[in-house]
């Protein structure tokens, strides 16, 4: 699992990587903890060595049940020794020196994590003064980006689990819309109550909670002019209108594992206009072009370039050809997905990466026209398997009209 990390450490001549901070605020820390729930661990990783996870005494029972290599802080430095010092800096310095002594830490060390600025600066200052230790340059802090870009099969399975649950959410959304009754171009339920975007949001958040997921950020559920702004979360009081495309972008993570999935569908109730159908068909064709443009070893910029070229051919502006445009195709084609909903690789015309085996990423073309009160986006999460085949993790059907069979 750590081969990529060790290869990067060797290439950069790094002897140790040390992470510290809060699990809930650092996905790099969560990556090494796996299913452990230690609140504020210290993780020590020697070149070619098994990570050592330092935990609080209150977490000892969980540590005993873990297969990871763990050690309690009290085994490194006793509370009696810590209490001899009143200042946080002196206590931290004692702990650091005891760690270095116990684990024979020396050489070039890379400090990572999410400590508050003052604490991080204090740790850096202490480490700088210790003999036999050299701190790695800040440019090496991108090491975890490279490590986490390539997923294990276990990570893929965790993302797939979330994706399956998200597909179930879309099924329920579609049923809600399909079972509604259109009157005077507005949607009502069978009891005559208006169906609003807020009803979709309530349904989404309810299923997320019931299925062990977490809405780390607010899902995007927007319509009309709001749907023409890609990250507009949507007005919950807006009643659903016949023929108006509804962009629904859901990207939860699993409460236990932390892994995300990302998926977007655009729906219409009733009959969409020819203009909306044309936009939808262009986006759907762009989605297929994006998929076909993904090739193992190729630059991750190429699918976005291909999609941009297609949209220009169809008469749409793109951010590649018209920097700063507010209508047309105004974002990149995709991004990596894992313990963060946005991580490496970037699938953008300015990206420098290449597609690698077991990397996970989205393909999400969209068209946005505020002047026409219309936005369309379609998105799935994919990965490249060990044979270089593109595999879809989010497989709910793409149909614009909720009246269409799926």
Q: What is the pLDDT of residues 17-26, one digit of tens each?
A: 999 999 989 9
Query: Does the pLDDT of residue 377 top 90, yes or no?
Result: yes
The answer to whether residues 337 and 381 touch, using CB atoms and an 8 Å cutoff, is yes
End-to-end C-alpha distance for the chain, whole angstroms: 39
- What is the pLDDT confidence band of residue 315, given thresholds at 50, 70 and 90? very high
Domains of the chain by range and CATH?
3-148 (3.40.350.10), 150-392 (3.90.230.10)
The model scores a pTM over 0.75: yes
3-state DSSP helix/strand/coil % of the chain, to nearest 5? 40, 25, 40
pLDDT value, residue 180: 96
Count of Cβ atoms closer than 10 Å to residue 10 Cβ:
12
Q: What's the pLDDT tens digit per position in 253-299?
A: 999 999 999 999 999 999 999 999 999 999 999 999 999 999 999 99
């Amino acid at each position: 699992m750590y081969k990529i990390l060790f290869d990067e450490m060797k290439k950069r001549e790094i002897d140790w990587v040390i992470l510290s901070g809060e699990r809930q605020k650092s996905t790099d820390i969560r990556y090494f903890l796996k299913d452990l729930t230690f609140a504020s661990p210290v993780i020590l990783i020697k070149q070619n060595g098994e990570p050592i996870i330092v935990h609080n005494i209150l977490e000892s029972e969980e540590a005993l049940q873990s297969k990871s290599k763990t050690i309690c802080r009290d085994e490194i430095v006793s509370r009696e020794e810590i209490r001899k010092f009143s200042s946080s800096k002196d206590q931290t310095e004692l702990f650091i020196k005891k760690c270095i002594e116990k684990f024979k830490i020396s050489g070039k060390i890379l400090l990572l994590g999410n400590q508050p600025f003052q604490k991080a600066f204090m740790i850096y200052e202490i480490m700088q003064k210790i003999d036999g230790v050299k701190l790695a340059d800040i440019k090496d802090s991108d090491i975890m980006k490279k490590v986490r870009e390539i997923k294990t099969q276990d990570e893929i399975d965790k993302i797939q689990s979330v994706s399956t649950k998200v597909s179930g959410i879309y099924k329920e959304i579609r049923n809600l819309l399909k079972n509604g009754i259109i009157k005077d171009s507005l949607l009502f339920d069978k009891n005559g109550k208006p169906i609003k975007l807020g009803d979709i949001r309530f349904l989404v958040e309810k299923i997320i909670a019931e299925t062990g997921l977490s809405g780390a950020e607010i899902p995007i559920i927007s319509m009309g002019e709001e749907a023409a702004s890609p990250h507009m979360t949507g007005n919950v009081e807006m009643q659903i209108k016949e023929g108006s495309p509804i962009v629904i972008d859901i990207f939860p993570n699993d409460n236990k594992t932390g892994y995300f999935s990302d998926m977007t569908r655009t729906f219409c109730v009733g009959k969409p206009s020819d203009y909306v159908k044309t936009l939808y068909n262009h986006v759907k064709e762009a989605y297929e072009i994006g998929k076909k443009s993904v090739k193992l070893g190729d630059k991750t910029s190429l699918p976005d370039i291909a999609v941009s070229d297609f949209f220009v051919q169809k008469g749409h502006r793109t951010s590649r050809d018209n920097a700063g445009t507010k209508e047309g195709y105004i974002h990149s084609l995709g991004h990596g997905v894992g313990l963060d909903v946005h991580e490496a690789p970037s699938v953008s015309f300015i990206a420098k990466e290449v597609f690698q085996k077991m990397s996970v990423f989205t393909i999400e073309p969209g068209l946005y026209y505020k002047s026409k009160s219309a936005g369309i986006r379609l998105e799935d999460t994919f990965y490249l398997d060990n044979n270089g085949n593109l595999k879809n993790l989010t497989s709910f059907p793409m149909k614009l009209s909720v009246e269409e069979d799926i």
